[in-house]
Amino acid sequence: MVDLSDTDVYLTFRFEDGTELKGTINRIHAPLLVEEIKSRLPIGGKATFLRGEMKITLDIGKGYAKPTSQAKRGDIAYMPLGDSLCIYLEDMTTFSKINILGRVISDDAELDSISSVRRGSGVTIEESK
């Protein structure tokens, strides 16, 4: 049973070039999906920055919870097509449906810094407080 009194899961994204980003995902947005991600932490994946979004492969193979095509700067979302966790650096309409899970809580300069992460770089997603 999920303890809804503690709905936020705090994450740290550590990229191999030393870049770090903090974020939070919330069980209210997609309880089963957030629990699946939390149960697999730490997660290692590959990062790709393309057209204003950072995609990190997850290999969890989940579907849609509350699908949308609208993302805002700082959103953290799961994209079933491509099985990726995405971080958005700008407001956009996505090419496929996404599940918004949470937000980046790092400052704007740290968020912007992920645009320089080399394509295919390793990234580790860890739970933090």
Of 3-17, 91-105, 110-124, where does mean pLDDT reach its minimum?
3-17
Distance CA 15, CA 117 (A): 7
Structural domain boundaries in the chain: 8-127
Q: Give tens-digit pLDDT for 30-64.
A: 899 999 999 999 999 999 999 899 999 998 888 88
Distance CA 44, CA 93 (A): 27
Class of domain 8-127: mainly beta
- For residue 52, give the nearest of 80, 86, 100 by alpha carbon: 86
pLDDT at residue 112, as a whole number: 95
Q: Are 72 and 91 in contact (CB under 8 A)?
A: yes
Task: Report, as an integer, the average pLDDT of 105-112.
Answer: 96
Instruction: Please tell me the pTM assigned to this model.
Output: 0.92
pLDDT exceeds cutoff 60 at 4? no
